[in-house]
Every structure is written in C-alpha cells, then in structure tokens.
Amino acid sequence: MSKPLSSFLSLLASVILLNSCEKLSTLNLSGSSESSPAAAVEPFTHPAQCELSGVNNPVRSAYKIGEVAMLCDKAIARVDTRLQEIVATPEKIQSIDNTLIAFETAMADFSDEVTPLTFTGYTSTDEKVSAEGSECEQKVGQYSVDVFTRRGLYKALAAQSTSDDAKARLLSQTLLSFEQNGLKLDDATLAKVKLLKGELSTKESQFTTNLNSDKSSLSFTADELNGATVDFLARLKKSDDGKYIVTTKSTDYSDLMQNVSVANTRKQMMLAYLNRGGPANVKLLEEAVALRGQIAQALGFKNWAAYRTSTRMVKSDTAALGFLNDLKDKLAIRNRADFAQLLKFKKEIDPTATSIDQWDLTYLSTQLQKRDYSLDNEKIREYFPANTVVKGIFDVYSHLLGVNFVEVKNGSVWADNVKLYEIHNAKDCKLIGYFFTDLVPRAGKYGHAAAFTLISGRTLENGQYSLPISSIVANFTPPGADKPSLLTHGEVETFFHEFGHIMHQTLTRAPYATLAGSNVAQDFVEAPSQMLENWVWDKNILSRISGHYLRPDEKLPEDLLKKMLSAEKFQLSSGYTKQLLYALFDLTIHTQNGPVDVTKTFDDLYREIMGQEPIVGNHFAGTFGHMMGGYDAGYYGYLWSEVYAQDMFSKFPSDDLTDPVMGGRYRSIILEKGNMQDAIELLREFLGREPNAEAFFKKLGL
C-alpha cells in the first residue's frame, strides 16, 4: 500500500485527471493495436558498491514531548504567510513563477516540514508524541481543505498560462484540485463544502488514530492454542496466571488463524481482530460516508463514488462497478470449487461438519496445503531470515533498476530495529535518496504494511534535485529468544510489494512534488508494486533471496522450491474474492446517499460473495483503515491496477527477471516520470501497444 501522509499532496493525488476513458471490459484483448515503438533505453550497469555520503540524519526522527505540536503550528503559520503573499501580488505583475511555482514551492516546503511530524502518529514509541502527530495530521487536513477552497488563490492561478509542457501539466492539475473542491460553486455552496470537508478530515484522522493506538489482546491456555508452532508460543508474553497473551497485530493473528486447531480459539481471535476499531470506528465511518454523500451532491455529482472516480483511469463509478461485477461472475465458479475443496477436507477432519465457518477458512486452507503439497510453512521460514531476505531483495532491485543501497549504520531512527539506507545510482554512485525499514510489530505502531513518503522528490529553486525519503512500515514476524526474524513467503511477497512503492517514490525525477513519485492516479498507484510480487514466484529469485538461518549458504532446497511453485495457485480464488468483497463493499457504501448501515452492508455482501455466514458480532467496517485513509471509493483500484501490473510483467524475460534492459525501461518510463504524463500513456510507451487483460486472466486461470 502506498500511503502519502501529507494531506495536501494526498488531496492533489486524489484528483488527478487522466485522459483515458477506457473501461477494463473494453481493453484490447488481442494485443493487435500497436502504438509507436518506445525509444530505446540504455541499460543500467551492474551495481558496484558505493560509499556512504556521511549524512546520518536526512530527516528528523526523534521529538520531545510538545515539539511536534509546536512545530506543526509554526509550519502552518509560515506557509499561510507565503500563500497570502501570492494573493497579495498585484495582478499586473503576476506571472506563472510568482503564482503557480510559488504556490507549488510553498506547499512542497510545507509538506517536507509537516509530514515527518504526522508520521510520528504512526510510528512513535512515545504515546504522547504519537498523539501530537495524530493531532498534527488533523490540523494539516483541516488546513489543506482551507487552502484548496480559497478563491483568491484560485483566481491568481487560473489567470496564468504557459507554453512550458511541465508547467502546463502542473497548472492543469493544480487548477483541477481547486475545482474538485468547489471553486466553481457559488459562495454559499463553497462554504458548505469547506465545512463538510473539514468535518470529514477530522473523522478520518480520528478513525486512523483509533486503529493505530489499539492494544487489544487475548489470553489463552496452552491447550487452547493446540497446533500453534513452537516459535509462535516462544515469542508470546505470559500473563500472571500463566496464559499466553496474543495481540491483535496482524502477525500474531495470522499465525494463530493458520495453525491453531481449536475452533473456538480461532473464533475468539477473529472477533477480537474484527473489533479493533469497535463501534466507535463504525460510527465514524458511517458519519464520514454521510458527509461524503453531501459533499458529492454539493459538487454536482450523484454520489461520492461518482465524484472520486471521475478523475481516475476508470472514469466513472458505473465502470468501476461493471468491472467488479464482471470479475465476480468469472471468479464465482473457481471460488465455489475451492470452497467445496475446503468443505470436503473439513468433513475428513470432522465427519459431522456440514458447513465452513468464517474462522475456519485460513486454518483449513493452511492445513490442506500442508497435506496435499507437503508444504511446511515453518520449514520454509527457516530459509527466509529477515536480514538475508532484505539483502537479497536489495541485490535483485539493484541489478534490475541500476541502483545501489548502502546501510547508514549510525543512522538517526525512531525505534529499535529501524534501519536507514542510502540509494545511489549504480552508474556513477550519485546519492539520489534515502529510505527507512521499520519491519517488526510494537505497541502503538501502524498495524499493517505500507510505504510512506516522508520527503518528496522535486527540483529545488537552486536547480538541485531534492533527495526523496520514504519508509516501509510493516509488522513482520519478530525475532524470537533464540532465532532471528524468520519470514513467511507471504511476508517476503509483501516486502517485494512495499519496496516497489519505495522505488516509485524515491527514483522519481519529476520536477514537482505534487506530480512526483507515487502521486499518480489511485487506480494505477498499486500497479508498479503488484507487478513485482511476481518475482517471489521465480526459481532464480527465490534462490537469491534465501539462505537457512543457521547455514546461510544453504539456499531453499530444490524439493521445497518445487512444492512451493506447484502450490502457487492453490486456493487462488480466495484472496481475489476477498479483494472483490472489500472493493464492492467500498463502492456500495459510497454509491448511496444518506445514512448507511455499514455493518449490515458488509455482512450482506459477505453472504453473497463468500457463500457463508459472517461471524456474529464483527465490526469489520471499523477496522477497514483504507476507507478512512485515502482509498475510499478507490479500493477497486487494487484489482483494476493488477490488470496493468500483469500486463507489464509479461514484458520481462521469463529466464531473467533482473534483466537490466527491461529494468532500465521500467525505471525510466514508469518509475521516474511520476504523474508528468497520464498513466495510460506511460503504459502504452512501456508496453509498445495498448494494454490488455490477457495476462491478468491467465494468472487467475480464467
């Protein structure tokens, strides 16, 4: 997941207007329509080891109590003064540079100041500092709404024109951002939109804060955890009465749901996990949905989904729903077969069983895979110690993209186990960016996996290019008392995905922050990273990134590798069906106006799509952070963008996924350009033809 923190950059990114009016269902499936051949791209050279720059604190990572709040207020005051100066510039001397470029620069500087502050709300080890970070994010969100509803600013920008292509792109997208916030409305309606958006921003921040600060856990006896792995039990803390304490962090949750044989334990765990936000977050989401409906109608749209999709590749809520429903029909047959396979297996375990409960799905799938493919996930983990995986992935990306990664050993970081790295061009060892890795769970930390932009790439006033800085924040299996962090293959895949976002964010060469990195159309933003998930199913790549934690030179054994690859498509429909469920839930609640019962809506869709009863007492909607974190009316984008991801992957030679020629094209055409061109144009240039869905449906076996 790509998660830009800056509210104004996120706002801009959410209103990118793309020229493509194509629907997925009408994408060329024959591949016969060829565009002009793409220009040749010089392959990047094999990376040599580069030297450290000597900077160990490229962005501040530690704050005293009170500092985040103080710095946040000062940053808002400072940028507001600069924006007022733009409006105060007499019309007769206004120019593209002292209006548009001045606005872009002021807001980019503001983002560089406040984003590290708001980031503390997701990662700080101090509860008070974290609370200040969350409060700062609310303030920045409110302020961003205010900025993009200012008529004076809009008037000054709208009066400009330019023959420079880059500035023209920036101008059109910036004006669109204002117009999408109601600048073409009358004063009374604009004031209403501004008020509603301010309320919405506050509720979204509160929802996220509630999830990040969740510390819920359950206690179980050893018998209640029957089937749990030795390593899992070894890393758990114990209560005073000797029970094992299991948190609702995704790592603990996944381990328990995959391996514990006691159905009631899994049921309790699932209920706890699906109640992290609780009724409070459900209420916030329902209020947000109502506010969004009011905003959309005030802006002239029939609903929030119509408003949000109008500026994306899909172009309309109708097209997005059509894509999902078409996929639902195609997946249904495969999903019924996979479900029947699980029910048959459950009956073998329990002859009295007549149905599958929601809390059975992960367990049955894991155990059936063990039986039919002789796959021991704990054995596989032994060949994926985190340090070896990270080093191997860096090696893969280095060869593929012509970059070099160097750890800053004494880097300034915000918590133990967080690491800082420099990114260099392999060809000349020029420093081009930084990134952090924050990979293991801890209390109060963001609960899933995402890539955060901290400082955006852009051309500075002195002509130099700002060094982008990003961070992976994840919750992978932590180290045990006598073992390092050993990753599941799924966690390795997640790292490949998130690191793909890091590369998108840090290899950018776009001149403007609002058009740089992963600030692209939201239904394309996941495609570059989804494409790279394919790498973890390649024999050569798996060999390069593996090594037994006790015998590092011992790679993933051939027999184990064959079993993993043979099981690649086992129960494949399950994951896609869940993504479909979440996407349809999102569009369903955001195509309605007025009060929406999000719990009932989800439960009804769960029955329809999954073919079973949802767990009673769940508040899934209150845990669905995407709905209040920028993916509202946009979750369909995960499936939509995978069509493009698989199409791009088809261009890479199957015998060498680190081919520097194709890697060079990918870096130059897809990663570096950011949003300086429409995503569909980048795809056509990279593919050398119109995009099509053949590779996507082939992967699904449809």
**Active site residues per annotation:** 498
**Cα 193 to Cα 605: distance, rounded to the nearest angstrom:** 31
Do residues 304 and 594 lie in contact, with contact meaning Cβ atoms separated by under 8 Å? no
DSSP letters for 612-644: SPPPTT--GGGG-GGGGTT-TTTTTHHHHHHHH
Do residues 133 and 118 lie in contact, with contact meaning Cβ atoms separated by under 8 Å? yes
**Cα 565 to Cα 568: distance, rounded to the nearest angstrom:** 5
Please give the distance of CA 478 from its chain centroid, rounded to a whole number: 21
**Cα 447 to Cα 475: distance, rounded to the nearest angstrom:** 7
- Residue 510 DSSP SS3: coil
Q: How many CB atoms lie within 10 A of CB 90?
A: 6
**Cα 249 to Cα 237: distance, rounded to the nearest angstrom:** 14
Question: Which one, of 589, 582, 678, lies nearest residue 636 by Cα?
Answer: 582
Structure tokens at 672: 């570096």
- Residue 465 DSSP SS3: strand
Do residues 276 and 572 lie in contact, with contact meaning Cβ atoms separated by under 8 Å? no
Place of tokens 């570059």: 528
Do residues 16 and 311 lie in contact, with contact meaning Cβ atoms separated by under 8 Å? yes
Exposed e or buried b per residue across 446-459, where buried means at least 16 C-beta atoms within 10 angstroms of its C-beta: bbebbbbbbbbbbb
Which whole-number Å values give the CA distances from 267 to 223, 259, 270, in the listed order?
15, 13, 5
> How many alpha carbons lie under 13 Å from residue 497 in its C-beta half-sphere?
22
**What distance, in Å, lies between the first and last C-alpha atoms of the chain?**
26
**Cα 268 to Cα 45: distance, rounded to the nearest angstrom:** 53
DSSP letters for 315-370: -SHHHHHHHHHHHHHHHHHHHHHHHHHHHHHHHHH-TT--S--GGGHHHHHHHHHH
Place of tokens 């709404």: 145
> How many alpha carbons lie under 13 Å from residue 469 in its C-beta half-sphere?
20
For the chain, the 3-state helix, strand and coil shares in percent, each to the nearest 5, are 55, 5, 40
Beta-strand pair 469-473/431-438 = parallel
Place of tokens 């593209």: 96
Structure tokens at 537: 């199913």
Question: Which one, of 511, 525, 489, lies nearest residue 104 by Cα?
Answer: 511
Question: Which one, of 365, 595, 390, 358, lies nearest residue 494 by Cα?
Answer: 390
Structure tokens at 230: 């030795």
- Residue 576 DSSP SS3: helix
Beginning with the edge strand found earlier in the chain, give each strand of the sheet holding 217-220 in spatial order.
217-220, 244-247, 237-238
Place of tokens 């790498």: 535
**Cα 53 to Cα 309: distance, rounded to the nearest angstrom:** 43
**Cα 627 to Cα 307: distance, rounded to the nearest angstrom:** 15
**Cα 397 to Cα 501: distance, rounded to the nearest angstrom:** 12
The residue length of the chain stands at: 702
